Amino acid sequence: MSPNATGWGAFRRALAAGQSGIRRIRLFDPSPLKTQIAGQILDLDLKRFLPDSDRDLRHVSRAVPLSIAASTEALTDAGLLKLGDGRATARMGMEESRRFGVCIGSGGGAAEFSERQYAIFFGRAGGHADADRLSIYNIPSSTTGNLSSELSIYFGLHGLSHVVSDGCTSSSDAIGYALEHIRRGRLDRVLTGGVDATVTPGIVAGFDVMRVLASRWNDEPEKASRPFDASRDGFVLSEGSWMFVLEKEDLARARGATIYAEIRGTGATCESYHRVKLENGNESARAMRLALEDAGLAADEIGHVQMHGTSTVMNDVIETAAVKEAFGPSSSRLACSSVKSMIGHPQGASGAAGLAAALVPILDGVAPPTINLAAPGDGCDLDYVPGRARAISCDACLINTLAFGSKNAALVVSRYVA
């Protein structure tokens, strides 16, 4: 569920076409704010994914129906879902469901719901007149950990139900965590990926104060997210959910499921430097090398890197240096791109969005472009597939992610060969 397309097929086509999903904010009135643009999902009836009257949008974060929508598509595509009595149920017995877990990543978690609840409680004028309109589920629905519980309950899954929340590396780490549970034989399947829905007045204002959002492009939203370009002035906040079914190969083959790719390796490090700044990218490079080592692949076997590519001046330069350090001479022939140029920055869902984008070179033979890249900035000297998609022969991709607090994570995904 992405700002530039809803649905897996539409997302693949949108990336190949270089389609932007950045628009003026419509989820609330952005007029008082310096930044008035974002990546939003506006063409999806969220209530369709909350069929029960006690689970309507008033009682949960916007992240919940977004993640249910993406999960519904993933489970249906995998042949693991049936619908009945207004609620989705996994197509399996109790013993199978006990070995089917949920592990998702989210940076903002339920922050959107909490902000709504505080607005009700304090009222626009600062009074408490609206306190009786608070949701009865104010407390549980305000927690980040409850996001996975909503998915477990909705789909009837009885394995572990966890949320990884460590900033913009959240979903990369969640996918890596899911992989380890399957490798160790603790689970057979995991519903994994990421979700964030943090386009709110308070969060946009907070990022504005930090001076990290693009603010010069309110009249031309589609041009605002411009990773690695000399005229970039910050990232574009966005929302979305990208979910996957990760399972043992023999189970998928026995069911006749479409196997899109194989998660081969993960790596994670911490630079231990600053709350929001990066130092030099050395630990990001090490995370990429760890992922390659875990995957059992050499640097020259990677055909595409899906960059974190936020469109902030410092991060783009440091990430470029990190990729060059991690890949050495191979970096000169890599096709690197940033899906954020089209969808904005979905925070903790970044790794999952990057994984979805990295499947396009493997499945369709197309490297997604970095749109809005007219003239690379100083220190940005890789091949970022500027402007338009490019035909590519690619058997393996690396997805790189960075986060506040000096965190780094990388994933390696490869073509599935039966």
Q: What is the DSSP letter of 376?
A: B
Domain covering 8-255 assigned CATH 3.40.50.150 in the classification: no
Selection from 102, 158, 114 nearest residue 140 by Cα: 114
pLDDT of amino acid 125: 45
Q: What is the DSSP letter of 386?
A: B
Give phi and psi for 37, each to the nearest 5. -130, 155
* Summary count for the chain: helices (H), strands (E): 13, 15
Global confidence as pTM: 0.95
Sign (positive or negative) of CA dihedral 145, 148, 153, 156: negative
Query: Which helix (H) or strand (E) segment is 396 a member of?
Result: strand 396-403
Give the Cα-Cα-Cα angle 152, 156, 159 (nearest 5 degrees): 60
How are strands ordered across the β-sheet holding 240-247? 161-164, 100-105, 189-196, 240-247
Q: Looking at the annotation, which residues are catalytic?
A: 168, 308, 345
The whole-number pLDDT of residue 218 equals: 97
**Domain positions in the chain:** 8-255, 262-414
Taking phi over 0 as left and psi of -120 to 50 as alpha, with beta for the rest, 90 belongs to: beta
User: 208: part of which helix (H) or strand (E)?
Assistant: helix 201-210
CATH topology of 8-255 equal to that of 262-414?
A: yes
Residue 103 — left, alpha, or beta (φ > 0 → left; ψ -120 to 50 → alpha)? beta
C-alpha span between 358 and 386 (Å, rounded): 16
Those residues with Cβ within 8 angstroms of residue 385's Cβ, 6 or more apart along the chain or in another chain: 335, 336, 337, 367, 368, 369, 370
Q: What is the DSSP string of 219-283?
A: T-GGGS--TTBTT---B-BB-EEEEEEEE-HHHHHHHT-----EEEEEEEEE--S-SS----SHH
Structural contact between residues 312 and 231, judged by C-beta atoms closer than 8 angstroms: no
Cβ contact 2:240 at 8 Å: yes
- The two beta strands, 37-39 and 87-90, are unpaired
Class of the CATH-defined domain 262-414: alpha beta
CB-CB contact of 178 with 190 (8 Å): yes
Each residue's pLDDT, cut to its tens digit, for the chain (418 residues) gives 999 999 999 999 999 999 999 999 999 999 999 999 999 999 899 988 887 777 788 899 999 999 999 999 999 999 998 765 445 666 778 889 999 999 999 999 999 999 999 988 877 545 555 566 789 899 999 999 999 999 999 999 999 999 999 999 999 999 999 999 999 999 999 999 999 999 999 999 999 999 999 999 999 999 999 999 999 999 999 999 999 999 999 999 999 999 999 999 999 999 888 887 777 899 999 999 999 999 999 999 999 999 999 999 999 999 999 999 999 999 999 999 999 999 999 999 999 999 999 999 999 999 999 999 999 999 999 999 999 999 999 999 999 999 988 899 999 999 999 8
Query: Is there a contact between 283 and 370 (Cβ–Cβ < 8 Å)?
Result: no
Residue 234 falls in which region: left (phi positive, over 0), alpha (psi -120 to 50) or beta: left
How much is the pLDDT for 267?
Answer: 98
Distances (CA, A) of 115 to 148, 151, 196, 198, 208: 20, 22, 14, 10, 17
Output the six-digit token pair for 293: 């080592």
**Which pLDDT does position 84 carry in this prediction?**
56
CA–CA separation, 31 and 39 (whole Å)? 16
